[in-house]
Chain A
Amino acid sequence: MKYLDEFHDPELAAKLFDQIRAVVTRPWAIMEVCGGQTHSIIRNGIDQLLPDEVELIHGPGCPVCVTPLEMIDKALEIAARPDVIFCSFGDMLRVPGSHTDLFGVRSRGGDVRVVYSPIDAVAIAEDNPDKQVVFFAIGFETTAPGNAMVAFQARQRNLSNLSLLVSHVLVPPAIEAIASSPTSRVDGFLAAGHVCSVMGTVEYGPLVERYRVPIVVTGFEPLDVLDGIRRTLVQLENGEAYLENAYPRAVNTMGNSPAKAMLEDVFSVTDRKWRGIGLIPQSGWHLSEEYADLDAELRFDVADLDVQESELCRSGEVLQGMLKPNECPAFGKECTPRTPLGATMVSSEGACAAYYQYGRLDASRSLPIVETEAARG
Chain B
Amino acid sequence: MAETDADVASTGPVETQQGTAPGVDVEGWTCPMPLRDHDRIVAGHGGGGKLSAELIEHLFLPAFGPAANGATPTDAATLELGSSRVAFSTDSFVVDPLFFPGGNIGDLAINGTVNDVAMLGAIPLALSTAFILEEGLELAVLGRVVQTMGRAATAAGVQLVTGDTKVTDTGDGSGLTVTTTGVGLIPDRVELAPGRIRPGDKVILSGQIGDHGIAVMSVREGLQFGTDIASDSAPLAGLVAAMLGTAAGPGVVHCLRDATRGGMAASLCELATSAGVGISYVERSVPVAEPVRSACSFLGLDPIHVANEGKLVAFVDPDAAEEVLDAMRDHELGHQAAIIGEVVDDHPGIVVARTGIGATRVVDLPLGEQLPRIC
- Residues of chain A having any CB pair with chain B under 8 Å: 1, 4, 8, 10, 13-14, 34-36, 39, 42-46, 48-49, 60-65, 69, 72, 89-96, 100-101, 103-104, 106-108, 114, 116, 138-140, 142-143, 173, 176-184, 222, 271, 273, 275-282, 307-313, 315-317, 319-320, 322, 337-346, 348, 353-354, 357-358, 360-364, 366-370, 372-375
Contacts and interface: CB of A to CB of B under 8 A. Distances in A.
Contact of A90 (B11, B27, B362, B372): B372
Interface string B242-261: 00000000000000000000
Interface stretch (B72-80, B91-99, B278-286): B278-286
Interface in B1-37: 1, 3, 6-12, 14-18, 20-36
21 contacts: A1-B294, A46-B357, A62-B375, A91-B373, A114-B371, A177-B9, A180-B23, A184-B24, A276-B28, A278-B6, A281-B20, A281-B21, A312-B30, A319-B31, A346-B34, A357-B364, A364-B360, A367-B344, A367-B354, A370-B280, A375-B284
Contact of B29 (A276, A353, A358): A276
Given A139-B375, A142-B375, A322-B26, A116 B221 contact: yes
Contact of A370 (B36, B342, B350, B375): B342
Contact of B40 (A95, A108, A222): A108
Contacts of A62: 375
Q: How large is the interface on B (under 10, 10 to 19, 20 to 34, 35 or more residues)?
A: 35 or more
Q: How would you classify the secondary structure of chain A's contact residues: helix, strand, loop or mixed? A: mixed
Interface stretch (B42-50, B100-108, B155-163, B179-187): B42-50
A103 B45 CA distance: 11
Contact of B12 (A181, A313, A362): A181
Contacts of B30: 275-276, 309, 312-313, 315-316, 342
B270 to A, nearest CB: 15
Nearest to A37: B375
B359 A280 contact: no
Given A63-B375, A309-B6, A340-B33, A49 B359 contact: yes
Given A309-B3, A374-B285, A366 B346 contact: yes
A257 B158 CA distance: 62
Given A42-B361, A372-B282, A183 B24 contact: yes
A360 B361 CA distance: 12
Given A1-B297, A62-B375, A357 B362 contact: yes
Interface string B335-355: 000111110101101101011
Given A44-B359, A103-B42, A375-B282, A307 B374 contact: no
Q: How would you classify the secondary structure of chain B's contact residues: helix, strand, loop or mixed? A: loop
Given A343-B31, A344-B31, A176 B342 contact: no
A335 B289 CA distance: 38
Contacts of B285: 370, 372-375
B1 A312 contact: yes
Nearest to A172: B21
Contact of B50 (A338, A348, A353): A338
Nearest to A143: B374
Nearest to A175: B21
Interface string B175-195: 000000000000000000000
Contacts of A315: 29-31
A104 B361 contact: no
Given A48-B360, A275-B31, 13 more contacts: A91-B300, A94-B367, A101-B34, A104-B40, A106-B42, A277-B25, A310-B33, A313-B33, A316-B27, A342-B31, A362-B346, A367-B360, A372-B341
A177 B11 CA distance: 10
Given A107-B42, A180-B23, A313-B33, A94 B371 contact: yes
Contacts of B34: 94-96, 101, 340, 343, 346
Contacts of B63: none
A178 B26 CA distance: 10
A104 B38 contact: yes
B42 A279 contact: no
Contact of A316 (B26, B38, B280, B299): B26
A65, A139, A183, A337, most chain B CB atoms within 10 A: A183
B143 interface: no
Contact of A177 (B23, B28, B341): B23
B356 A8 contact: yes
A322 B26 CA distance: 8
Interface string B108-130: 00000000000000000000000
A316 B31 contact: yes
B137 interface: no
A45 B357 contact: yes
B35 A104 contact: yes
Contact of B354 (A96, A319, A369): A369
A361 B7 contact: no
A367 B371 CA distance: 31
Contact of B35 (A101, A176, A320): A101
Nearest to A178: B24
Contacts of A36: 375
Contacts of A13: 356-358
Nearest to B359: A45
Contacts of B31: 65, 275-276, 313, 315-316, 319, 342-344
